Amino acid sequence: MTYHVGVISGDGIGPEIVAEAKKVLDRVGKKYGHEFLYTEILMGGCSIDATGVPLTDEAIAAAQASDAVLMGSIGGNTSTSPWYKLSPELRPEAGLLKLRKSLNLFANLRPAYLYEELKAACPLRDDIIGSGFDMMIMRELTGGLYFGARETKDVDGVMTAVDTLSYNENEIRRIAKRGFDIAMKRRKKVTSVDKANVLDSSRLWRKIVEEVAADYPEVTYEHMLVDNCAMQLVKDPKQFDVILTENMFGDILSDEASMVTGSIGMLASASLNDTKFGLYEPSGGSAPDIAGKGIANPIATILSAAMMLRYSFDLDKEADAIENAVKLVLKEGFRTIDIMPQDSREHNEHTQAAGMCTEEFKNAVGNKIVQVGTKEMGSLIADRV
């Protein structure tokens, strides 16, 4: 089977981590008899440099012509990059918002799973971690504050900025249905997160979620205010199964969830529309400070590729193979620097000589934790698919 994958490598570490995801996909294709054909698509800062805008109509058309899109990361250093001296609609992130809207990618899935081998990287106490946690954050992606009307103007001599948070019942209903559908395939629990004690949009959100919940009698559900949810994520993360929430709340909570897994470099994501089409990307940023150093963690991008196989291509066996390969590599003790325990970083510094292969790493330190770079991690996972 042949699959056409649009590839947005983007900025910063994006090209490095996407290259490793493609490496793993190609290994899957070779093993299971598939062919992945890639179309490069410009978006973000690199598109600004080449075309003057963060996303062209041609790029949107190329994405629409693909079976799915795999993305790295976009943007740069907001304090030093010339991209951020442009007006907001011409900055890198504007391209991503436009792409989501153009492709109707309303449902964002961000799994947050604590690997047994990464418990030491989790900042929470052992008694809080317990046996680990496994949650799915379901974020509405094309409505809310990020897409509402906005302006900055002079009001009686005072500069005033206004951002509008707007949701209608249809937008809420479709993301709620998707959240409850996902819960049916998991542990059948939904936590709907809002700010209904203050916001009208949240009160409507809560009303519609309750209507949708009536169609899913097997799923237990609860409402939780967003500030309480932020606290509960670090107090008792294992209580959550599916967290269903609006755009801005989901943006913030999913980043918080990523850090209790040990690193944002471990958090994959999928953005889906009403069909099988999806945009798959790691949840982390472009990390311009480490771009080109070969130390970025590609696992989130590789796991995003696995989500693409599962949700867009219905290749569950192949997706399982990638996820199991990641678990095996971690179990064998290989780590990128962001998920290395501090004591192991110091112990393994002597093994990082240029040109030393991963097998030599293992021989050098036996069963110790071994630090590897971006390319090495990608090769290790590909070899174990």
The closest of 291, 371, 268, 363 to 329, measured between CA atoms, is: 371
Q: Count the Cβ atoms, other than its own, within 10 Å of residue 133.
A: 22
Which residue among the candidates 115, 195, 216, 221 is catalytic per the annotation?
A: 195
Which residue among the candidates 119, 181, 255, 327 is catalytic per the annotation?
A: 255
Classify 108-262 by CATH class.
alpha beta
113 is catalytic: no
Q: According to the model, what pLDDT value does residue 79 have? A: 87
What distances in angstroms separate CA 260 from CA 7, 73, 305, one per listed residue? Answer: 29, 21, 22
Look up residue 31 and give its DSSP letter. H
Q: According to the model, what pLDDT value does residue 259 have? A: 83
The closest of 6, 184, 213, 239 to 105, measured between CA atoms, is: 6
Which of 3.40.718.10, 3.40.50.800, 3.40.50.300, 2.170.120.40 is the CATH number of 1-103+277-333+374-385? 3.40.718.10
Which residue among the candidates 3, 23, 115, 146 is catalytic per the annotation?
A: 146
Query: What is the enclosing helix (H) or strand (E) of 40?
Result: strand 35-40
215 is catalytic: no
Q: According to the model, what pLDDT value does residue 358 have? A: 47
Q: Which residues of the chain have pLDDT under 70?
A: 342-367
Q: According to the model, what pLDDT value does residue 131 have? A: 87
255 is catalytic: yes
Q: Start-end ranges of CATH 3.40.718.10 in the chain? A: 1-103+277-333+374-385, 108-262
251 is catalytic: yes
Which residue among the candidates 11, 194, 241, 251 is catalytic per the annotation?
A: 251
Which residue among the candidates 227, 236, 274, 314 is catalytic per the annotation?
A: 227
Decide if 153 contacts 160 (C-beta within 8 A).
yes
